[in-house]
Amino acid sequence: MRLTILGSGTNVHPTRAAAGYLVQTDQTFLLDFGPRTLMNLLKTGTDRHRIRHILFSHFHADHFSDFITFFFDQVFYSRFVGKRPDLTLIGPRGTRRLFGVILKTFPGFNAAAFRVSIREVSDRSFWLGQTRITPHTVVHSPRLHCVGYRIEHGGKVLVYSGDTQYCESLVRLCRRADVAALDCSFPANRPGPGHMHAGDCGRVAREAGVRRLILSHFYPVAERYNVKKQAGQQFRGRIIRGRDLMKVTV
Ligand SMILES: [Zn+2]
Ligand SMILES: [Zn+2]
Protein backbone atom coordinates (compact mmCIF):
# COMPACT_ATOMS: atom_id res chain seq x y z
CA MET A 1 0.00 0.00 0.00
CA ARG A 2 1.25 3.46 -0.81
CA LEU A 3 0.28 6.85 0.58
CA THR A 4 1.11 10.12 -1.16
CA ILE A 5 0.48 13.31 0.74
CA LEU A 6 -1.19 15.75 -1.63
CA GLY A 7 -1.70 18.39 1.03
CA SER A 8 -0.17 18.69 4.49
CA GLY A 9 -1.45 22.17 5.32
CA THR A 10 -4.71 23.91 6.07
CA ASN A 11 -7.03 26.27 4.24
CA VAL A 12 -4.75 29.24 3.64
CA HIS A 13 -1.16 28.19 4.06
CA PRO A 14 1.65 29.90 2.15
CA THR A 15 3.63 26.77 1.22
CA ARG A 16 1.40 23.72 1.67
CA ALA A 17 -1.81 22.55 0.01
CA ALA A 18 -4.74 21.89 2.35
CA ALA A 19 -5.89 18.36 3.28
CA GLY A 20 -5.66 15.62 0.66
CA TYR A 21 -4.09 12.16 0.29
CA LEU A 22 -3.72 9.68 -2.52
CA VAL A 23 -3.92 6.01 -1.52
CA GLN A 24 -2.88 3.16 -3.81
CA THR A 25 -3.78 -0.42 -2.96
CA ASP A 26 -5.56 -2.68 -5.45
CA GLN A 27 -7.59 0.55 -5.79
CA THR A 28 -6.54 4.14 -6.35
CA PHE A 29 -8.57 6.60 -4.29
CA LEU A 30 -8.43 9.93 -2.51
CA LEU A 31 -8.88 10.84 1.12
CA ASP A 32 -10.17 14.43 1.17
CA PHE A 33 -9.69 16.89 -1.65
CA GLY A 34 -8.81 20.29 -0.20
CA PRO A 35 -7.68 23.43 -2.01
CA ARG A 36 -4.47 23.10 -4.07
CA THR A 37 -4.39 19.28 -3.79
CA LEU A 38 -5.68 18.79 -7.35
CA MET A 39 -2.54 20.48 -8.67
CA ASN A 40 -0.42 18.14 -6.55
CA LEU A 41 -2.42 15.15 -7.80
CA LEU A 42 -1.45 16.15 -11.34
CA LYS A 43 2.20 16.40 -10.27
CA THR A 44 2.14 12.77 -9.07
CA GLY A 45 1.40 11.65 -12.63
CA THR A 46 -1.76 9.83 -11.52
CA ASP A 47 -4.44 9.58 -14.19
CA ARG A 48 -7.25 11.58 -12.57
CA HIS A 49 -9.74 10.17 -15.06
CA ARG A 50 -9.34 6.74 -13.45
CA ILE A 51 -10.19 7.79 -9.90
CA ARG A 52 -13.41 6.04 -8.92
CA HIS A 53 -13.70 6.74 -5.20
CA ILE A 54 -13.21 9.86 -3.10
CA LEU A 55 -13.55 9.54 0.66
CA PHE A 56 -14.20 12.67 2.70
CA SER A 57 -13.60 13.10 6.42
CA HIS A 58 -15.90 16.13 6.83
CA PHE A 59 -16.96 19.25 5.01
CA HIS A 60 -14.87 22.11 6.19
CA ALA A 61 -13.78 23.73 2.93
CA ASP A 62 -10.10 22.88 3.46
CA HIS A 63 -11.07 19.20 2.97
CA PHE A 64 -13.20 19.23 -0.16
CA SER A 65 -13.16 22.39 -2.26
CA ASP A 66 -10.91 21.05 -5.05
CA PHE A 67 -13.63 18.50 -5.75
CA ILE A 68 -15.50 21.29 -7.53
CA THR A 69 -12.62 22.04 -9.88
CA PHE A 70 -11.99 18.33 -10.39
CA PHE A 71 -15.61 17.55 -11.18
CA PHE A 72 -15.97 20.42 -13.64
CA ASP A 73 -12.95 19.01 -15.47
CA GLN A 74 -14.43 15.50 -15.41
CA VAL A 75 -17.75 16.67 -16.86
CA PHE A 76 -15.89 18.27 -19.75
CA TYR A 77 -13.58 15.30 -20.18
CA SER A 78 -16.39 12.74 -20.19
CA ARG A 79 -18.46 14.69 -22.71
CA PHE A 80 -15.82 15.74 -25.18
CA VAL A 81 -12.57 13.85 -24.68
CA GLY A 82 -12.85 10.29 -23.39
CA LYS A 83 -14.60 7.78 -21.19
CA ARG A 84 -14.21 7.64 -17.47
CA PRO A 85 -15.62 5.12 -14.96
CA ASP A 86 -18.41 5.88 -12.53
CA LEU A 87 -17.52 7.94 -9.48
CA THR A 88 -18.48 7.22 -5.88
CA LEU A 89 -18.35 9.93 -3.23
CA ILE A 90 -18.11 8.60 0.29
CA GLY A 91 -18.32 10.59 3.48
CA PRO A 92 -19.99 11.22 6.82
CA ARG A 93 -23.51 12.45 7.54
CA GLY A 94 -24.24 15.41 5.31
CA THR A 95 -22.46 13.97 2.25
CA ARG A 96 -25.67 13.31 0.34
CA ARG A 97 -27.10 16.73 1.04
CA LEU A 98 -23.92 18.65 0.20
CA PHE A 99 -23.10 16.87 -3.05
CA GLY A 100 -26.78 16.68 -3.99
CA VAL A 101 -26.83 20.49 -3.95
CA ILE A 102 -23.45 20.88 -5.68
CA LEU A 103 -24.31 18.44 -8.48
CA LYS A 104 -27.72 20.06 -9.04
CA THR A 105 -26.63 23.68 -8.73
CA PHE A 106 -23.22 24.17 -10.34
CA PRO A 107 -23.63 24.96 -14.06
CA GLY A 108 -23.14 21.89 -16.22
CA PHE A 109 -22.61 19.49 -13.32
CA ASN A 110 -25.74 17.50 -14.14
CA ALA A 111 -24.40 16.77 -17.63
CA ALA A 112 -21.61 14.35 -16.67
CA ALA A 113 -21.40 11.34 -18.99
CA PHE A 114 -20.75 8.95 -16.09
CA ARG A 115 -22.70 7.94 -13.04
CA VAL A 116 -22.11 9.52 -9.65
CA SER A 117 -23.09 7.65 -6.49
CA ILE A 118 -23.10 9.19 -3.07
CA ARG A 119 -22.68 7.07 0.01
CA GLU A 120 -22.88 8.11 3.66
CA VAL A 121 -20.90 6.10 6.17
CA SER A 122 -20.64 6.07 9.93
CA ASP A 123 -18.85 3.38 11.90
CA ARG A 124 -19.18 0.29 9.72
CA SER A 125 -16.46 -1.33 7.62
CA PHE A 126 -16.86 -1.73 3.89
CA TRP A 127 -14.71 -2.98 1.02
CA LEU A 128 -13.38 -1.34 -2.08
CA GLY A 129 -12.13 -4.37 -4.02
CA GLN A 130 -9.61 -6.09 -1.72
CA THR A 131 -9.22 -3.01 0.49
CA ARG A 132 -11.08 -2.89 3.77
CA ILE A 133 -12.10 0.54 4.97
CA THR A 134 -13.36 1.33 8.45
CA PRO A 135 -14.66 4.84 9.09
CA HIS A 136 -14.82 5.95 12.68
CA THR A 137 -16.46 9.02 14.15
CA VAL A 138 -13.99 11.41 15.77
CA VAL A 139 -14.51 14.57 17.82
CA HIS A 140 -13.89 17.76 15.87
CA SER A 141 -16.73 20.27 15.56
CA PRO A 142 -20.07 20.16 17.37
CA ARG A 143 -22.09 20.86 14.22
CA LEU A 144 -20.26 18.52 11.85
CA HIS A 145 -19.99 14.78 11.63
CA CYS A 146 -16.31 13.98 11.10
CA VAL A 147 -14.79 10.55 10.47
CA GLY A 148 -11.28 9.16 10.33
CA TYR A 149 -10.51 6.16 8.12
CA ARG A 150 -8.69 2.92 8.81
CA ILE A 151 -7.49 1.31 5.59
CA GLU A 152 -6.35 -2.31 5.52
CA HIS A 153 -4.74 -4.03 2.58
CA GLY A 154 -2.19 -6.84 2.17
CA GLY A 155 -1.83 -7.23 5.95
CA LYS A 156 -0.93 -3.54 6.45
CA VAL A 157 -2.89 -0.79 8.15
CA LEU A 158 -2.98 2.91 7.34
CA VAL A 159 -5.01 5.38 9.39
CA TYR A 160 -6.03 8.90 8.47
CA SER A 161 -7.46 10.88 11.36
CA GLY A 162 -9.38 13.57 9.47
CA ASP A 163 -9.67 16.64 11.69
CA THR A 164 -9.96 15.75 15.33
CA GLN A 165 -9.07 16.59 18.86
CA TYR A 166 -7.58 13.93 21.12
CA CYS A 167 -10.31 11.32 21.77
CA GLU A 168 -10.68 7.66 22.69
CA SER A 169 -12.27 6.84 19.36
CA LEU A 170 -9.16 8.06 17.53
CA VAL A 171 -6.95 5.84 19.70
CA ARG A 172 -9.19 2.88 18.82
CA LEU A 173 -9.08 3.75 15.13
CA CYS A 174 -5.26 3.85 15.22
CA ARG A 175 -4.83 0.58 17.15
CA ARG A 176 -1.54 -1.03 16.00
CA ALA A 177 -1.55 0.82 12.67
CA ASP A 178 1.59 0.60 10.57
CA VAL A 179 1.22 4.22 9.60
CA ALA A 180 -1.04 6.90 11.11
CA ALA A 181 -1.34 10.32 9.45
CA LEU A 182 -2.71 12.60 12.14
CA ASP A 183 -4.08 16.12 12.44
CA CYS A 184 -1.19 18.11 13.93
CA SER A 185 -2.68 21.55 13.45
CA PHE A 186 -0.79 23.17 16.28
CA PRO A 187 2.48 23.05 18.19
CA ALA A 188 2.14 21.70 21.73
CA ASN A 189 2.92 25.11 23.24
CA ARG A 190 0.29 26.90 21.10
CA PRO A 191 -2.78 24.58 21.18
CA GLY A 192 -6.10 25.47 19.53
CA PRO A 193 -9.70 24.20 19.63
CA GLY A 194 -11.04 21.18 17.73
CA HIS A 195 -7.63 19.89 16.64
CA MET A 196 -4.66 18.08 18.08
CA HIS A 197 -1.29 19.57 18.78
CA ALA A 198 2.01 17.74 18.31
CA GLY A 199 1.97 16.35 21.86
CA ASP A 200 -1.54 14.93 21.36
CA CYS A 201 -0.40 13.21 18.15
CA GLY A 202 2.47 11.58 20.03
CA ARG A 203 0.14 10.51 22.80
CA VAL A 204 -2.33 8.89 20.37
CA ALA A 205 0.51 7.07 18.60
CA ARG A 206 1.86 5.78 21.92
CA GLU A 207 -1.49 4.69 23.34
CA ALA A 208 -2.51 2.99 20.09
CA GLY A 209 0.85 1.26 19.54
CA VAL A 210 1.33 2.85 16.11
CA ARG A 211 4.54 2.03 14.20
CA ARG A 212 5.06 5.20 12.20
CA LEU A 213 3.46 8.55 12.91
CA ILE A 214 3.02 11.16 10.19
CA LEU A 215 2.30 14.68 11.39
CA SER A 216 0.16 16.65 8.93
CA HIS A 217 -2.55 19.32 8.54
CA PHE A 218 -0.33 22.14 9.78
CA TYR A 219 -1.54 25.63 10.47
CA PRO A 220 1.16 28.20 9.67
CA VAL A 221 1.95 28.59 13.40
CA ALA A 222 3.12 24.96 13.50
CA GLU A 223 6.01 25.85 11.16
CA ARG A 224 7.61 27.98 13.84
CA TYR A 225 8.22 25.16 16.33
CA ASN A 226 9.81 21.71 16.28
CA VAL A 227 6.63 19.62 16.19
CA LYS A 228 8.56 16.42 15.57
CA LYS A 229 10.49 16.86 18.78
CA GLN A 230 7.31 17.78 20.67
CA ALA A 231 5.56 14.60 19.45
CA GLY A 232 8.70 12.64 20.32
CA GLN A 233 8.31 13.55 23.97
CA GLN A 234 5.21 11.33 23.95
CA PHE A 235 6.10 8.67 21.40
CA ARG A 236 9.32 6.71 20.91
CA GLY A 237 8.52 5.29 17.44
CA ARG A 238 9.35 6.83 14.09
CA ILE A 239 7.90 10.29 13.46
CA ILE A 240 7.68 11.95 10.06
CA ARG A 241 6.91 15.61 9.54
CA GLY A 242 4.62 15.43 6.52
CA ARG A 243 5.15 17.51 3.41
CA ASP A 244 3.35 17.80 0.12
CA LEU A 245 4.12 15.08 -2.44
CA MET A 246 5.85 12.89 0.16
CA LYS A 247 5.39 9.20 -0.67
CA VAL A 248 5.16 6.63 2.10
CA THR A 249 5.12 2.88 1.55
CA VAL A 250 2.96 1.22 4.19
ZN1 LIG B 1 -12.20 20.71 10.05
ZN1 LIG C 1 -9.04 20.88 8.35
Query: DSSP letter string over 157-176?
Result: EEEE--S--S-HHHHHHTTT
- Report which bound ligand comes closest to the CA of 9: 2
- Report which bound ligand comes closest to the CA of 146: 1
C-alpha span between 53 and 84 (Å, rounded): 12
SS3 at position 197:
strand
pLDDT recorded at residue 250: 98
- Report which bound ligand comes closest to the CA of 20: 2
For residue 117, report the distance from its CA to the centre of ligand 2, in Å.
Answer: 24
SS3 at position 42:
helix
For residue 197, report the distance from its CA to the centre of ligand 2, in Å.
Answer: 13
The structural domains of the chain, with segments of one domain joined by +, span 2-249
For residue 137, report the distance from its CA to the centre of ligand 2, in Å.
Answer: 15
Task: Tell the CATH topology of 2-249.
Answer: Metallo-beta-lactamase; Chain A (3.60.15)
pLDDT recorded at residue 142: 92
pLDDT recorded at residue 220: 98
For residue 228, report the distance from its CA to the centre of ligand 2, in Å.
Answer: 20
C-alpha span between 40 and 37 (Å, rounded): 5
Q: Who surrounds ion ligand 2 at CB < 5 A?
A: 62, 163
Q: What is the mean pLDDT of the chain?
A: 98
- Report which bound ligand comes closest to the CA of 140: 1
For residue 60, report the distance from its CA to the centre of ligand 2, in Å.
Answer: 6
pLDDT recorded at residue 171: 98
For residue 143, report the distance from its CA to the centre of ligand 2, in Å.
Answer: 14
- The β-bridge relationship of strands 28-33 and 247-249 is unpaired
C-alpha span between 236 and 84 (Å, rounded): 45
pLDDT recorded at residue 158: 98
Residue 102 vs residues 38, 58, 165, 177: alpha-carbon distances, Å: 18, 15, 29, 35
Q: Over the stretch 70-91, which tens digit does the pLDDT of each residue have?
A: 999 999 999 999 999 999 999 9
With a cut of 70, list the residues of the chain below it in pLDDT: none
For residue 84, report the distance from its CA to the centre of ligand 1, in Å.
Answer: 31
For residue 1, report the distance from its CA to the centre of ligand 2, in Å.
Answer: 24
- Report which bound ligand comes closest to the CA of 138: 1
pLDDT recorded at residue 87: 98
